[in-house]
Structure 1
Amino acid sequence: MKAEENTQEEDVLKNESAASENSTEEVKEEAPQLTPLEEMEIQVKELNDKYLRLYSEFDNYRKRTQKERLEMIQTAGEDVIKMMLPIIDDFERAQKSMDEKADFQMLKDGVDLIYNKLLNSLATKGLTPMSSSIGEKFDSDIQEAITQVPAPSEDLKGKVIDEVEKGYMLKEKVIRFAKVVVGQ
């Protein structure tokens, strides 16, 4: 009898499991099946949306950096100009003193002070004048030959005879080449 009950219980359990499998198959069948083409179209739409968002983010970044760069360029010289204002004031005082017919030596000393103040202010920003190169060999990396003249002596051929304008460097970069006369 117990064997019959166990067999019946096993049959009931098998029927229940078969019924539950049929119900999950029915659920699977109820969900709409997408064709591979439809799945690809959905994937393309998702990737296109992702691409457009990324492109928009990059475009916003590019515009922001351009704006920041423009602002930096517009205000780059501000600190140098602020540094130059006291020197302009000194020149105005010198002009006023010239109108009062001051002593020539005092005027010369005043102009020398203003010149040194200007050079020192620019030196704090990294400007250095190039040393005079008269008598040295011509160097096209830091000098510009504006003319060539016959050398007064044989040893001055290819060398700098005169310096018309002094050259300047900003940090390690030449910002104005020294204009020189070279012996030929």
Structure 2
Amino acid sequence: MEELMAGKKMSKKKVDDEMSKKKSHEEEVVKDEAAEATPEAVEDTGADELTKMQEEIGQLNDKYLRLNAEFQNYRKRVEKEKSDIFKFGTEKLMIEMLPIMDNFERALQASAAENMDSKVLDGIIMIKKSLDEFFDRNGVKKIEALGMPFDPIKHHAVMTVEAEDGKEDHVTEVFQDGYELNDKVIRPSMVKVSH
């Protein structure tokens, strides 16, 4: 048994010797690495990290600027859409009201040709005046066409005629008035054009 105990002591001593050799070898390796890490090497590592960080900051700044520009464009687009809804939200109603205006104008023209009761004529004039005021309040304006140069956006040519006074491409007759809503043509004038 003593031999067994003596063997254990010997092996424990061997293990301790091995461990101390390993430890001293590791310390030498660490010292060698520390000696190799000169101030220049440390500065190079720091400079590399600084350069990487500056590049990352630049990329993040570019991303921020792009996102900010996109947001500003979105905000402007929403503002314009909201403004357009306000300006042109009544467009459909105004377009549907135009035939009513046309009928009152025809009634006034017919009353001039015929002897109409003055009370009926006064009623037609009052209603026409109310419609004119309604259109004015809502931004609807009649397109001036007679004698004006032909504009394919504002005028719809249904007939042409030889120019008698030398004015080519001018409106010589209006068959149906055109209208604009806040400077947007909602119905072009139907016209006869000289050529």
Normalised-by-shorter TM-score class: 0.3 to 0.5
Name the TM-score, length of structure 2 as normaliser: 0.44
Name the TM-score, length of structure 1 as normaliser: 0.46
Instruction: State the structure with more CA Rg.
Output: 2
